[in-house]
Amino acid sequence: MARAATTSDTFNAIAEPQRRDILVLLRGGERPVTDLARDLGMTQPQASKHLRVLREVGLVQVREAGRQRLYGLDARGLRPVHEWVGGFERFWNESFGRLDAYVRELKDEHEHEDAQEPERTRQEGPHDGDDQ
């Protein structure tokens, strides 16, 4: 099956690390492209290209503010990703549950060993230094 075009598929759009970085910056509020480009160390045309892709998949909205265009996050576009990742929630919960049980088991073993330590010391008696 052919892969969907980047501009029509949220998963492909966010596969690019720089686009994810843009989304992180936009969580803080609307920003002009020049600010995004500067903060990400890229040229304005590179940032504009990434913003276009994010806008086409519904992750970014743009509005005119005087002579500037402000880009803002539209997290509703991440719903398909959220739903897909949510399908793994049972796996993670079970994995963390097993890890938690293992940690409790180790803790119980350690506490059991600590409780037996004074008993061993009493049984062995004081050492008089003859072990040499």
Whole-number pLDDT of residue 3: 47
Confidence of residue 4 (pLDDT cuts 50, 70, 90): very low
State whether the Cα torsion 39-41-43-45 is positive or negative: negative
Q: Which of 40-44, 81-85, 122-126 has the lowest mean pLDDT?
A: 122-126
Q: Which of 64-68, 75-79, 126-130 has the lowest mean pLDDT?
A: 126-130
DSSP 5: P
Computed over every residue of the chain, the mean pLDDT equals 85
Between 68 and 101, the more confident residue is: 68
Judged on CB neighbours under 10 Å (0-12, 13-18, 19+), 99 is exposed
The pLDDT tens digits of the residues spanning 51-68 come to 999 999 999 999 999 999
**Residue 121 pLDDT > 80, yes or no?**
no
Span 119-123, average pLDDT: 59
